[in-house]
Homo-oligomer: A and B are copies of this chain.
Amino acid sequence: MYYVGIDVGGMSIKAGIIDENGNILRQQFIVTVPDKPSDEIVEEIAVLIEDIVKEHGLTLGDLSGIGMGFPGSVWDQKGEIVYCCNINLVKVPVVKMLTARLGVKNIKISNDANCAALAETRFGAGMGAENSVMITLGTGLGTGIVVDGKLLTGNRSAGAEGGHMQINFGGPTCGCGKKGHYEAYASATALIEQTKQAMAKHPESLLHEVAKIYGINGKTVFIAAKQGDKVAVATLNRYIKYIGIGLVNFANLFYPEVIIIGGGVSRQGDVLVKPLQRYVSRNVYGSKYNPKIKVVAATLGNEAGIIGAACLAMN
């Protein structure tokens, strides 16, 4: 069976032909022009789908379905993009438009964090799990939640916004005007901010030397910590605890079989994942009586987007 998965991002719109086992049979992409009229963007997606299908020697009639992930708020059930971050797609009934344009009946949409969670749960780091939570640590903090094999999205798909969970109401005000949001502590952006603060406070730290060579980014603290710098180790431990606090909150609510860590930071692997595993196992409620919740790093990388989009159409 053939599915097309589309991953719309601020830089590119990626397409893949995906089989029912989550294998990518072909990939293709176009550059995003974010401020085009929305119907032109949708037409570009339509042409991209036609192209990749043709390139693979198929016709649209051979497709079992098409799935699409967008970076923003999506009303899954209605097939409507509510709004997109940095792309001119507001209140766009994209499923209706593409169904009419392409004649393919099974077209599904969701947001990108949901797609990633679905892909990792079906075919990646969480394979075999029926219940999972995935967090994506990037500029922001995205969450995707799978319950009994299906995405949990809430009424009008407005839920699964775990980055906006308040974990420290006494804490400093975050960018969105609210205090103590998870995202403000645990995103890659937050890590960079924490690294900068540690550097300002500790001119003796190796972080300064590392920053001279590699710049200040999500890796800086990991590199310096690996070399034994105490300030970096302390900063990293605190950052890991921040991530852990949110994971335990999710675990207490969803008690999933697996928690998946995605985003650039997750490529650090065991250095990040092992202490998170310990933190979750120690702090989740009722762990004495209940099975261990596995904490793992995502394995599908950037391809989670197109695979997960295709998964939407596989249900």
Enumerate chain A interface residues (CB-CB to B < 8 A): 73, 82-83, 130-131, 143, 145, 147, 152-162, 164-171, 178, 180, 245, 248-249, 251-257, 283, 285-286, 289-291, 293
Chain B, Cβ-Cβ closest to A290: B158
Q: Which 3 A-B pairs have the closest CB atoms?
A: A154-B255, A159-B255, A158-B255
Q: Are B245 and A161 in contact (CB under 8 A)?
A: no
Q: Are A257 and B165 in contact (CB under 8 A)?
A: no
Q: Are B164 and A167 in contact (CB under 8 A)?
A: no
Among B73, B159, B178, the residue within 8 A (CB) of A254 is B159
Residues in B with CB closer than 8 Å to A286 are 73, 82, 158, 161
Write 23 A-B pairs (CB below 8 A) sorted by A numbering. Answer: A73-B286, A82-B286, A82-B290, A83-B289, A143-B253, A147-B152, A152-B254, A155-B257, A155-B290, A158-B290, A159-B252, A159-B253, A160-B253, A161-B252, A161-B253, A164-B252, A166-B245, A166-B248, A167-B167, A168-B168, A168-B170, A170-B171, A249-B249
**Chain A: interface secondary structure?**
loop
Shortest C-beta distance, A197 to chain B (Å), equals 16
Residues in B with CB closer than 8 Å to A251 are 159
Residues in B with CB closer than 8 Å to A156 are 255, 290-291
Q: Are B252 and A155 in contact (CB under 8 A)?
A: no
Among B147, B164, B285, the residue within 8 A (CB) of A147 is B147
Given A252-B161, A253-B162: A155 and B168 within 8 A (CB)?
no
Residues in B with CB closer than 8 Å to A167 are 166-169
Residues in B with CB closer than 8 Å to A178 are 283
CA A257 to CA B154, docked complex, whole Å: 8
Among B73, B130, B253, the residue within 8 A (CB) of A289 is B73
Q: Which of A73, A161, A253, A290 has the most CB of B within 10 A?
A: A253
Q: Are B82 and A289 in contact (CB under 8 A)?
A: yes
CA A27 to CA B215, docked complex, whole Å: 71
Residues in B with CB closer than 8 Å to A253 are 143, 145, 154, 159-162, 165, 253
Residues in B with CB closer than 8 Å to A147 are 147, 152
Shortest C-beta distance, A117 to chain B (Å), equals 13
Shortest C-beta distance, A268 to chain B (Å), equals 23
Residues in B with CB closer than 8 Å to A290 are 73, 82, 155-156, 158
Q: Are A154 and B254 in contact (CB under 8 A)?
A: yes
Q: Given A152-B152, A161-B255, A166-B245, 17 more contacts at CB 8 Å?
A: A73-B290, A145-B253, A153-B255, A154-B253, A154-B254, A154-B255, A155-B255, A155-B291, A155-B293, A156-B291, A158-B289, A159-B254, A159-B255, A161-B252, A164-B252, A168-B168, A253-B253
Chain B, Cβ-Cβ closest to A82: B289
Chain B, Cβ-Cβ closest to A83: B289
Q: Are B289 and A161 in contact (CB under 8 A)?
A: no
Residues in B with CB closer than 8 Å to A159 are 251-256
Residues in B with CB closer than 8 Å to A285 are 161, 164
Q: Are A162 and B283 in contact (CB under 8 A)?
A: no
